Amino acid sequence: MPNPPRPRAATLAATALLVAATLAGCGGDSQDEDLSAQKLNWKDCPAPSRAEGGGDAPSPLPGGAEWQCATLKAPLDWAKPKGDRIDIALIRAKASGAESKRIGSLVFNFGGPGGSGVTTLPAFGSDYAKLRTRYDLVSFDPRGVGRSAPVECLNDPQLDVYFEQDATPDDAAERATLLADTKEFNAACEENSKKMLPHVRTTDAARDMDLMRQVLGDGKLYYFGISYGTELGGVYAHLFPKHVGRAVFDAVVDPTQNSEQGSLGQAEGFQLALDNFAEDCTSQPTDCPVGDTAQDVRNRIAKLLADLDQHPLPGIGQRVLTQTAATNGIAQALYSKDFWAYLTEGLQQAYEGDGRVLMLLSDSLNGRSENGEYSNLTAANIAISCADNKPRYTAADVERELPAFRAASPLFGDFMAWSMVSCTDWAVAGAADHPDVSAAGSAPILVVGNTGDPATPYEGARKMVQALGKGVGVELTYKGQGHGSYDSKNKCVQDAVNGYLLTGKVPAAGTVCS
């Protein structure tokens, strides 16, 4: 999931912050060993940590194959490779086919930034059964995420309040509150994770992946990047073009956009997905329970959100469904067509005064488990984004651009525009306006764009192909709905991706699947 729309709202003023955090795995003495020669100690996986989202240890794959976990040592600061170390958490399922047919390790990044690959890969592992015939399936928690020296900002009660606040201010007082709360959140990140914040850029994670490639014993990196994982893959290809083996980018980030342009593109993308949901619901033979026409669906949602701005609904436990939480919940349901039924149910309930389903969807987006614990998804998402992105926007910048955002999306425009102030008071300067993914000399990279993708709009695939450079990016289009293409189960897409990763056969540029 890509920089999802998130509230940039409050923390609890004057409450205790998390115990000064912790840089797991960092030592103070320099070390001289060659990290590329380290041996991984693979063993049974533990249950996910709180920062990874909690829950149970991963279940075996169909057929009984067990997941194994290990820890990779990497430099805290790649400019000082013999300095302090951090731990990078890895997970794998070994290849199911004959050793003679094994190609290597296929490394996955599922996006965010801030998503735990150690917990996500097992959740979808059976979807990649065909790829596992010739690859070990491998994923990892990128630095700053999950069990890999996680960035920490606020504690769980503080985050509950943070996610209830008004992320779309309507007047000067609300605007001042939003900016103060954002500043307080960012100060908490600096207090609790000061040592880590300068070292969570995508370029750092790309260097970790090249170390991972070497330690896994592969001469080339075989890679499957989804959403933000396409940006990470593009940066890797730029830094190490000769090390790219076979790579697939799915749900593609536009690497030519700055953070404002990316936010505007997401506003357009989520509005498109909402329009598609409304059209689908009202075109069914049975009545659509949330509106008579597509425009009626949109109007009723807009009225619901306007009402929630003044009068939140009962949610879960003592928490209430605010306008911000409802917008988050709607956005989460638009990530996949499979979730549209939940959106319909959530809207029906909300119209009747019950906010539980929309709040559950919002909690899912924000990384909150049923027991009230949060993963570090939000902290890592903001830390990585702010370390990567150079622009720092003021309230005046947002006010100036609001008309464009509202034109892009009457529903999500304000929300996405105000999210741009998240990095305004960040402790670390951003690296660049946008990532450099030019990769002359790289092997072909298959770039898959979905015409109905809300979070990484379809146009980003073409921009990625162009930015990778002549002879590198190969574009494939999926005419579908939801975030990403491979997990849609579309046979045309899966055959093309599997064919390239398993045999090296590159599909014809411009191939269209529907």
| pLDDT for 33 | 75
pLDDT interval class at 31 (50, 70, 90): low
- The mean predicted confidence, pLDDT, of the chain is 93
Active site residue 287: no
Confidence of residue 128 (pLDDT cuts 50, 70, 90): very high
Reference 204, options 268, 143, 247; nearest CA is 143
104 SS3 class:
strand
Residue with tokens 């729309």: 5
The pLDDT tens digits of the residues spanning 283-339 come to 999 999 999 999 999 999 999 999 999 999 999 999 999 999 999 999 999 999 999
In order of 131, 205, 432, 491, the CA distances from 446 in angstroms are 15, 21, 25, 16
At 367-392, the pLDDT tens digits run: 999 999 999 999 999 999 999 999 99
Which H or E element spans position 140? strand 135-140
> Which residue among the candidates 453, 485, 487, 488 is catalytic per the annotation?
453
Mean pLDDT (whole number) for 53-74: 95
| Catalytic residue selected from 96, 105, 139, 227 | 227
Rounded Cα distance, 447 and 233, in Å: 11
Beta-carbon contacts of 126 under 8 Å, excluding residues fewer than 6 positions away, are: 61, 62
Residue 513: strand pairing partners: 478
Identify the CA nearest to 232 among candidates 216, 217, 218, 221: 221
Determine which helix (DSSP H) or strand (DSSP E) holds 73, and give its type and residue range. strand 68-75
What's the CA gap between 326 and 350, in Å, rounded?
9
Q: What is the pLDDT of residue 136?
A: 98
Instruction: State the catalytic residue, choosing from 49, 250, 483, 485.
Output: 483
Q: Is the pLDDT of residue 17 over 80?
A: no
474 within 8 A of 465, measured Cβ to Cβ = yes
The string of pLDDT tens digits covering residues 483-512 is 999 999 999 999 999 999 999 999 999 999
Of the candidates 447, 450, 496, 484, the one whose C-alpha atom is nearest the C-alpha of residue 469 is 447
CB-count burial class (<10 Å; 0-12, 13-18, 19+) for 318: exposed
* 347 burial type by CB count under 10 A (0-12 exposed, 13-18 middle, 19+ buried): buried
- Strands 511-513, 473-478: pairing is parallel
Residue 73: closest CA among 117, 38, 28: 38
* Beta carbons of 149 and 131 less than 8 angstroms apart: no
Whole-angstrom distance, CA of residue 30 vs CA of residue 83: 4
Q: Is 443 helix (H, G, I), strand (E, B) or coil?
A: coil
Give catalytic status of residue 436 as yes or no: no
CA 89 → CA 143, 145, 268, 338, 457, distances in Å? Answer: 9, 9, 35, 30, 31
Phi-psi domain of 152 (left: phi exceeds 0; alpha: psi -120 through 50; beta: other): beta
Which residues on adjacent β-strands are paired with residue 87? 73
Which segments within 145-243 are labelled E, that is strand? 221-226
Q: Which of 511, 442, 401, 408 is nearest to 242 (CA)?
A: 442
**pLDDT attached to residue 497:** 98
**Residue range 70-97, pLDDT digits in tens:** 999 999 999 999 999 999 999 999 999 9
Over pLDDT 70: what percentage of the chain? 94
Residue 260 structure tokens: 């404002």
C-alpha to C-alpha distance for 335 and 447, rounded to whole angstroms: 19
pTM: 0.92
Q: Give the C-alpha distances (Å, rounded to integers) separating 210 from 62, 241, 244, 275.
A: 30, 11, 10, 41
Residue 102 pLDDT greater than 60, yes or no: yes
Which pLDDT score, from 0 to 100, does residue 32 have?
Answer: 58
Catalytic residue flag (residue 453) = yes
pLDDT in tens, 139-194: 999 999 999 999 999 999 999 999 988 999 999 999 999 999 999 999 999 999 99
Cis bond before residue 113 (omega within 30° of 0): yes
* pLDDT tens digits along 230-283: 999 999 999 999 999 999 999 999 999 999 999 999 999 999 999 999 999 999
